[in-house]
Structure formats: structure tokens, C-alpha cells
């Protein structure tokens, strides 16, 4: 069986992420999907607002109770920036009998050729591009599996903006994540 890897900042994780994860697990029949919070994404160096451990805690809170979802700490345990190729090599060494599928949003897939050692990725994991209605999968030099997912108009940027404006984020994020954001005072204008 194949293990899905869903990486990102998750600053914060929201229902859009969870809906994508559920759709991909069902479409591919994955035994497990691991959320892989980046210590520091190479394209977002210095731009993460919540510290890595708090982002990981929010992921753990969001996926609690879903047996096919798990938190993967591989990128949190190494210094940043978090390069996908390094993470995949580490996971393949740690779990040589596993097959991995790397989930990539259609928008991120446009930048895929610019990722560190992008040409090595297909040998380390199946590339799975998830796409919403109206978004196109870019032309890539490697084979990819395309999985359509529901379009959900929620983004981490909008969640952070709503918090900064004092608006409710209920229904945007799982309740436990909203409570963690409030308790830590995240995303406030003077934080």
C-alpha cells in the first residue's frame, strides 16, 4: 500500500486542507495520509507566522480521530529550509518497504521544476497533483497522477486575515485549531 504525503506550511491548517486530504485518500485508496508540516518552506523563508511546533500541534488537533491521517515530523526534526527531495530520501531510508505518493496542488506544481533536485522526485515518490474545478494541471516533464478535489474557497491567508480583523474563524478551521490560535494569540495585528 501507498502512504500519501501532504506537505505545507499549515499556517494554519484549515478545512480546505482536510477536504483535499479526504478526497485524495478516497480517490487513491491510500492506507494512510501523513501531513508533513515544513519547518521552513524554501519559497516562504522568514514568512511563517506561527512557529513550527505550534503549526504541528494545530495539525495534530485537526486530524485527531481520523485513523487514516497522521502527523509526520520528518521536516520538524531537521533544520530548515525543508526541501522535499531531502525529506523523501530520509523517509525512503527510514521506511524502505513503503511506497510514497507526494501530493502537490496544481498551483504548487507550476513551481515544481524550480524545486531543489526536482528531477529526482519521481524516483522517490509518485507525484499526485490535486486540482479543483477551473484550475489546470501544468505541463510537467514527469508523469503525474491527477486527482480532482472539491473547490473550497478557504485559504490560510484568509484565515489569518480574519483573525487579524477580529472576525470569526469558526467553520473555517476545526474548533480545536481555532482554540489553539486564540490561546496562542496567533495572527493578531500586534503579535
Whole-number pLDDT of residue 29: 96
Whole-number pLDDT of residue 134: 77
Each residue's pLDDT tens digit, 55-83: 999 999 999 999 999 999 999 998 878 89
Beta pairing partners, 37: 8
Whole-number pLDDT of residue 190: 76
Whole-number pLDDT of residue 118: 95
Whole-number pLDDT of residue 169: 98
Ranges of each domain in the chain:
2-151
Q: What percent of the chain has pLDDT over 90?
A: 82
Each residue's pLDDT tens digit, 89-146: 999 999 999 999 999 999 899 999 999 999 999 999 999 999 987 788 889 999 999 9
Whole-number pLDDT of residue 86: 96
Tell me: pLDDT of 50 over 80: yes
Alpha-carbon distance of 163 to 49, in angstroms, equals 12
Residue 43 binned pLDDT confidence (cut-offs 50, 70, 90): low
Q: What is the CATH number of domain 2-151?
A: 3.40.50.620
Tell me: pLDDT of 151 over 90: no
- 160-179: average pLDDT: 97
Look at phi and psi of residue 188 and say left if phi exceeds 0, alpha if psi is from -120 to 50, else beta: beta
Indicate the average pLDDT of the chain. Answer: 93
Alpha-carbon distance of 158 to 163, in angstroms, equals 9
Tell me: pLDDT of 45 over 80: no
Please state the pTM of the whole predicted model: 0.93
Amino acid at each position: 500500500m501507498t502512504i500519501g504525503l501532504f506537505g505545507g506550511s499549515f499556517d494554519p491548517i484549515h478545512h480546505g486542507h482536510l477536504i483535499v486530504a479526504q478526497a485524495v485518500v478516497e480517490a487513491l485508496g491510500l492506507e494512510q495520509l501523513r501531513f508533513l508540516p515544513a519547518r521552513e518552506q524554501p519559497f516562504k523563508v522568514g514568512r511563517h507566522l506561527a512557529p513550527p511546533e505550534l503549526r504541528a500541534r494545530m495539525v495534530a488537533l485537526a486530524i485527531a480521530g481520523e485513523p487514516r491521517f497522521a502527523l509526520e515530523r520528518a521536516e520538524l526534526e531537521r533544520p530548515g529550509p525543508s526541501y522535499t527531495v531531502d525529506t523523501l530520501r530520509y523517509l525512503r531510508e527510514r521506511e524502505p518497504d513503503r511506497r510514497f505518493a507526494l501530493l502537490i496542488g496544481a498551483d504548487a506544481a507550476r513551481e515544481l521544476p524550480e524545486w531543489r533536485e526536482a528531477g529526482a522526485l519521481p524516483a522517490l515518490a509518485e507525484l499526485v497533483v490535486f486540482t479543483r474545478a477551473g484550475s489546470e494541471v501544468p505541463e510537467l516533464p514527469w508523469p503525474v497522477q491527477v486527482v480532482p478535489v472539491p473547490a473550497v474557497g478557504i485559504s490560510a491567508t484568509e484565515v489569518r486575515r480574519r483573525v487579524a480583523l477580529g472576525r470569526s474563524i469558526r467553520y473555517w478551521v476545526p474548533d480545536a485549531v481555532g482554540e489553539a490560535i486564540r490561546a496562542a494569540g496567533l495572527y493578531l495585528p500586534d503579535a
